[in-house]
Structure 1
Amino acid sequence: MVMRRRMGRPGLLGTMARTAVVAGTATAVSGRMQRAAADRDADQQTAADARQQQLVDQAAAQAPAATPPAPAAVDRVGRLTQLAELKAQGVLTEAEFAAEKARILSG
């Protein structure tokens, strides 16, 4: 008995093999597209983060430096209060009080 090869439509094994090749190719292409999209998204996020950091740095450079509260003013008031107390206690004379007060206010 001689088996003759059938011409025309493929047999069951041929159809299964062709289906497997098509499915494998589709899976490979789909995976590659997903990886490419993920890489592109990561690159865009990195670029956006860099732009955001650059804007923050520029804003920090352009913002005027915050001046600390003037401790000298508070210190002057405290020193003048101490002077007034010393004058009230009789430790300082009127001339000494006036001279010291002028020195504190001018400095």
Structure 2
Amino acid sequence: MGLLRGVARTAVVAGTATAVSNRVSRRQANRWAAQDPYAQQDYAPPPPQPAAPPAPAPSATDDMYAQLERLGRLRDDGVLTDAEFSAQKAKLLAG
């Protein structure tokens, strides 16, 4: 009878521990759900913001001016001769 009593005691202790553990888990989950605004049924998260439109591409005219300025700096620095500068400028303006 001692063995049966030990098994019965173990079953009661294990069952009680399981019941207490489940109750604590449920209570804790309810607290967390009450604190979490996204867990409420009637609450929907805000919609995502639309992406900003891409920056406009530089126009061909702006690009041409930048290239002309670069050619002018190269001529002023002595990298290009006046003849080379004139040839590159004519080529750039011709398209």
Q: TM-score, normalised by structure 1?
A: 0.36
Q: TM-score, normalised by structure 2?
A: 0.40
Q: Higher helix share goes to which structure? A: 1
Higher RCO (C-alpha 8 Å, min separation 6)? 1
Highest Rg: 1 or 2?
1
